[in-house]
Structure formats: structure tokens, C-alpha cells
Amino acid sequence: MKNDPKDQDEKKSLSNRSLPRDLDGAEEKMWEAMHFDFEVVEEPLGLKEDVMNFVFENEQLNVTRWGKMKLLFRSARNQFTPLTTSLIAVMLIGIVLLMAPLIQVPSKEGFSEITASMKLHVAGEEFGEVYGQAFLVNKSGKEELVVNVFDFPQTEGQEVYQVWLIDNGQRQSAGVFRPDKAGYGVLTVDTSKFNIFDTIGITLEPDTTSKQPRGKKIVGT
């Protein structure tokens, strides 16, 4: 006797309806199995601190990041069942991967520190409210002098402002600059190329060839 197509469709429909119930039942059994796998134990003292220290502390000498992770895995394995240990391992790996881009290690090559600063005062009322400041900067072990000036008048023709490093009246030319339209100017000097100095002066020179000041002093320390 041949099967009726209608009967076959009804059987398929009943089978499809029972599939979600079967999946729900399997899911409940799986969670019940996981529940029984966990052992009810008290939280080990210091566990939270160990985990947070692992994430945020810098690496210690001769101890790699993965070495620390192995130690944490070993501690967790002694305290929990294999399933729980696996979940902790996944959690720790996820934390490390998420936090890694956020943890920035300072670069020694880009390290800079201001070791001294000096104000540059206007030399006369005729120059208005011009002012400036000089900084000694230790940049990766190399000392630089950075001179910043503000509200300086515009130069004309070949005129330049010249920076002088002074020690006991002896002047060394550190370089020249021209301010922008807003009157701001900056000059960076490698101090290793010059003798020791204790004061700074800036003059307005007719051109870039001055070996000693020929123009008027604008500001000084």
C-alpha cells in the first residue's frame, strides 16, 4: 500500500514542530551537566588581586607575559574543575587581548624633559609688549635650547632676529629667525655645539652675517 502524500506532509510537520522541543531539552540537559561539573568552593583569597595585577602591572624582570599567564592557569587548575579552568582561561585571554591596545609603554626614544626655563624681558619701551621664553630640554639624553618669542615686529628686507648665548660678556651666535605675521618666532638650538652660557639676548640685525651684535637688543634674560 502506497503512502498518502498528505500523511507524509503531516508527519513532516509534526517532526518540525517537535524539533524545537528536542533542542530545548538538549539545551537544558547541557546546562544541567555544566552545573554539576562546577564544584562549590570558596573564592581563594587574593584571586581578584592576582587577576587585576596580571592585567595592569608592568612585566617583571625575566618574567614574560605568557609566563605569568601560565602561573595563573596553574593556580586556577588547582582550585577548580577542568571546565571552570577552561572558562577562566578564555576570560583571561579575552581581557589581555582587549587591554593590550590600551596599555601604552612609554618610549625612551621620545622622552623629553624641561630642565630649566628663562623669561626674556623687553629691553626698552620702544619695542612695545614683546616678550619671550627659553627652555632647556633634555630630549633622550640630548640637551636642546628652545627659544619662543611673541608679538615681535615684522622684519624688513634682509633683517633677522639673532639669538646670542652669553657668558661673562662673551657672545656666541645661536642662530637667526624671522617671526610670522602674528609676531611669533621659534628657534631650536643644539647646546652641545656651544660653550657654557648663563644669559640669552636677542637683537635685530640688518642681515644674517653678524658675528657680534650690530643691531639693537630687543629682549634678554
118-159 pLDDT tens trace? 999 998 888 888 999 999 988 888 899 999 999 999 999 999
Per-residue model confidence (pLDDT) at position 105:
54
Whether residues 127 and 56 share a domain: the answer is no
% of the chain surpassing 90 pLDDT: 34
Q: CA 152, CA 184: separation in Å to the nearest integer?
A: 7
Question: Looking at the whole model, is its pTM more than 0.85?
Answer: no
How far out from the chain centre does Cα 165 lie?
Answer: 35
| Amino acid in position 205 | E
Mean of all residue pLDDT scores within the chain: 73
Q: What is the mean pLDDT of residues 114-119?
A: 88
pLDDT over 50 at 62, yes or no: no
Task: Based on the fold, state whether residues 78 and 124 are members of the same structural domain.
Answer: no
Residue 107 within a domain = no
- DSSP secondary structure string, 174-193? EEEE---TTS-EEEEEEGGG
Count: domains in the chain: 2
User: What confidence score (pLDDT) does residue 169 get?
Assistant: 87
Maximum distance among all alpha carbons in the chain? 123
In a domain, 10, yes or no: yes
Considering the domain architecture, whether residues 19 and 85 belong to the same structural domain is answered as yes
Q: Is residue 17 part of a domain?
A: yes
Phi, psi of 210 (to 5 degrees): -70, 125
Sign of CA dihedral 77, 80, 81, 86: negative
Range of the domain at 81: 5-102
Question: Under a CB-based contact definition with an 8 Å cutoff, are residues 173 and 211 in contact?
Answer: yes
Task: Based on the fold, state whether residues 133 and 200 are members of the same structural domain.
Answer: yes
How far is 189 from 143, CA to CA, in rounded Å? 9
One domain for residues 85 and 135: no
**Looking at the predicted structure, is the pLDDT value of residue 173 above 70?**
yes
132 and 203 belong to one structural domain: yes
pLDDT band at 114 (very low <50, low <70, confident <90, very high): confident
Same domain, 36 and 88: yes
